[in-house]
Amino acid sequence: MKITAENFLAELQRKNEKALEYVVREYAGLLKAVINRILYVYPEDAEECLYDVILKIWEHIGSYSRERGRFESWAAAIAKYAALDKLRVLKRLEPMEDIDEMDIADTSRLTGNEVFDGFFTELVSCLSEEDRALFIRIFWKGESVGEAAEQLGKSPDVLYNHISRGKKKIIRHFPGYFRKEEK
């Protein structure tokens, strides 16, 4: 029997392996795209996740209903949630680095999240080394201005001025990231 777009669902529910091959041939690209969008940092795990998704489709085809939506949407939802589950597991397994032990002038590895670290590093890149270290202390480590002033031997007013000027410099340097509030 030839598997087509019209009969693959019925054959898949009958556990016809040729129907599963059809699903892989026709929908693997969509499933990979959904998975890779979430697991882009873990390409080898993305491939494993794809196999898990295909197995879940095989096992749970009985829960699919045409009345509730298209097969593509249902399969993409399975891929999305499988990838998110995999990402949660992988994040839990990553070793955590103590932020207090990091060199505060080194913003290249703040969270382990390449996207966020890159964004934060880019934002503070326009600041002087001293202001960059101050922004990390205040906005990343959560120190109060009073604590930072005491440790740096400066008055809080001086630090507030540095912060204010630094924020303005960041906004000027990256105008597309910030919207102006209407007065």
Domain spans in the chain, listed from the N-terminal domain onward: 8-93, 99-177
The answer, yes or no, to whether residue 132 has pLDDT greater than 90, is no
pLDDT at 86: 93
Give percent of the chain above pLDDT 90: 39
Give percent of the chain above pLDDT 70: 80
pLDDT at 179: 58
The answer, yes or no, to whether residue 141 has pLDDT greater than 60, is yes
CATH topology of domain 8-93: Rna Polymerase Sigma Factor; Chain: A (1.10.1740)
The answer, yes or no, to whether residue 160 has pLDDT greater than 80, is yes
What is the tens place of the pLDDT at every residue in 90-111? Answer: 888 766 555 455 454 444 455 5
Judge residue 2's burial from the number of C-beta atoms within 10 Å of its C-beta, 0-12 exposed, 13-18 middle, 19 or more buried.
exposed
Mean pLDDT of 85-92: 88
pLDDT at 1: 78
Mean pLDDT of 140-166: 87
What is the tens place of the pLDDT at every residue in 20-58? Answer: 999 999 999 999 999 999 998 888 899 999 999 999 999
pLDDT at 114: 58
Which CATH code of 2.40.50, 3.10.350, 1.20.1070, 1.10.10 fits the domain covering 99-177?
A: 1.10.10
